[in-house]
Amino acid sequence: MGSHLPDELLARRAAGGRLEDFEELLSRYRKRVYRICYRMAGNAEDAEDWAQECFVRLYRQLVHYDPRLPFAPWLLRLVSNTCINLAKARGARQGKMELGLEERHEVASKAPDPLQTTLHGDETRRVNSAIAALSPPLRQAVTLRIGEELSFHELAATLGVPLQTAASRVRRGLIQLRERLERAESEVKR
């Protein structure tokens, strides 16, 4: 049976080395963290690795967490920054100079994700491919705003940028998504 303690107290106790409290945090946030990783990574295989990396970083960083501040936004920021770093590292590994380019290649070259095939239709796959082709900062902004339903104020706080920058990233992300989706549809028609 899960604990009823607030996240902030669990985080503080987990920072002191209590693994059962960390496990409770893992159980509360596994779905949300995985979802963000999945949308940022663009495939299930990387998503699991990225989610694991996020939780390991969380465990290491808990000693720096101030329990007077709400836990969820702090965690979201950590997860979001970890995903950005992992996406950049993946791009660097593939030797691509331009961020986002490597994801296009990866999505095109990988076999269709069984999860996507079974649970989502063609439309979902198209949208996810278009999202995966965005540069990591734009993908991050769209994922958190639309996928996690953060308000723009929350998004700005999570990204650590001014409100206008957060809004600009979401706008640019949506515009690029529309262009890519239109391009993909016109190729299918041909």
Interface with another protein (CB under 8 A): 12, 15-17, 19, 22-23, 26-27, 30-31, 33-35, 38-39, 44, 47-48, 51-52, 55-56, 59-60, 63-64, 66-68, 115, 119-120, 123-124, 126-128, 131, 142, 145-147, 151-153, 163-164, 167-168, 170-171, 174-175, 177-178, 181
Query: Rounded to the nearest whole angstrom, what is the least distance from the CB of residue 95 to another protein in the complex?
Result: 28
Please, which residue, 12 or 90, has the CB nearer to another protein? 12
Give the residue with the Cβ less far from another protein, 72 or 146: 146
Least gap, CB of 71 to another protein (angstroms): 14
What type of residue sits at position 91?
G
Pick between residue 97 and residue 186 the one whose CB is nearest to another protein: 186
Nearer to another protein, 99 or 177 (CB): 177
- As measured in angstroms, the least distance from the Cβ of 87 to another protein is 17
Output 72 or 127, the one with its CB closest to another protein. 127
CB 127 within 8 A of CB 181: yes
Smallest separation (angstroms) from another protein to the CB of 115: 7
- Three-class SS string for the chain? CCCCCCHHHHHHHHHCCCHHHHHHHHHHHHHHHHHHHHHHHCCHHHHHHHHHHHHHHHHHHHHHCCCCCCHHHHHHHHHHHHHHHHHHHHHHHCCCCCCCHHHHHHHHHCCCCHHHHHHCCHHHHHHHHHHHCCCHHHHHHHHHHHHCCCCHHHHHHHHCCCHHHHHHHHHHHHHHHHHHHHHHHHHHHC
Nearest distance, CB of residue 97 and another protein, angstroms: 28
